[in-house]
Chains A and B, each alone.
Chain A
């Protein structure tokens, strides 16, 4: 398996501001993913972040709103930009290790 950490674990932000979430993995992985889980809902993929290439965004998510960096094989960031209360959610980093896929502990974001 892979050990994944995220920072911050939670935050409360004002609308119109931005928050950058960090994801660190204890081993080198090719594929990293960012998911969102809104209250009482399942997981929705925001984007796939591969090292050395631009992130691939899912329908409904755009780079201007959710810019992603992937500077190396163990680290990625997701920024939630110009936040509104609708962005209140849990944001999860996920990595693929061979056939398995693991999740970080998540970042609980509340936007006021």
Chain B
């Protein structure tokens, strides 16, 4: 079982709709969770991170964390064609361990 799992997609969403990206993790020691956006040929760009159960909103993006279910999600409201990219979920353990462990990424396409 991979530490961080994502559906590789592709996920197709019509423009203006809500895109929902999901991620599960196996290590209960994971404390912080990150969402990155990666355009083809570019490096990952941090969207947001979350470490408390519940929702965290930043503009059109909402991250949701449920530690009991070991589940993290990212919602993108009013999806735009420019949101078409691969979205990477990552987890970081607490304590002295500092590294991020990444999922395989979900490819999202927003259709005009």
Binds B, one of A37-45, A61-69, A80-88: A37-45
Do B88 and A45 touch across chains, with their CB atoms under 8 A apart? no
Do B46 and A102 touch across chains, with their CB atoms under 8 A apart? yes
Residues in chain B near residue A103, CB distance under 8 A: 36, 43-46
Q: Which of A42, A58, A92, A101 contacts B103 (CB 8 A)?
A: A42
Minimum CB–CB distance from A46 to chain B (whole Å) comes to 11
Do B46 and A100 touch across chains, with their CB atoms under 8 A apart? yes
Do B99 and A42 touch across chains, with their CB atoms under 8 A apart? no
- Main SS class of interface, B: strand
Contacts between chains A and B (CB distance < 8 A), count: 46
- Main SS class of interface, A: strand
Chain A residue nearest to B105 (CB atoms) is A42
Beta-carbon contacts under 8 Å, B7-54 to A: 32, 34, 36, 42-46, 49, 51
Q: A75 contacts the other chain (Cβ, under 8 Å)?
A: no
Contacts A99-B32, A100-B49, A101-B34; A42 near B43 (Cβ below 8 A): no
Chain B residue nearest to A45 (CB atoms) is B99
Which of the four size classes fits the interface of chain A? 20 to 34
Do A43 and B102 touch across chains, with their CB atoms under 8 A apart? yes
**CB<8 Å pairs between A and B, sample of 30:** A1-B46, A31-B98, A33-B99, A41-B104, A42-B88, A42-B102, A42-B103, A42-B104, A43-B44, A43-B88, A44-B102, A45-B99, A48-B98, A58-B99, A90-B43, A92-B44, A99-B32, A99-B49, A99-B51, A100-B46, A101-B34, A101-B100, A102-B46, A103-B36, A103-B43, A103-B44, A103-B45, A105-B42, A106-B42, A106-B43
Interface residues of A (CB under 8 A from B): 1, 31, 33, 41-45, 48, 58, 90, 92, 94, 96, 99-106
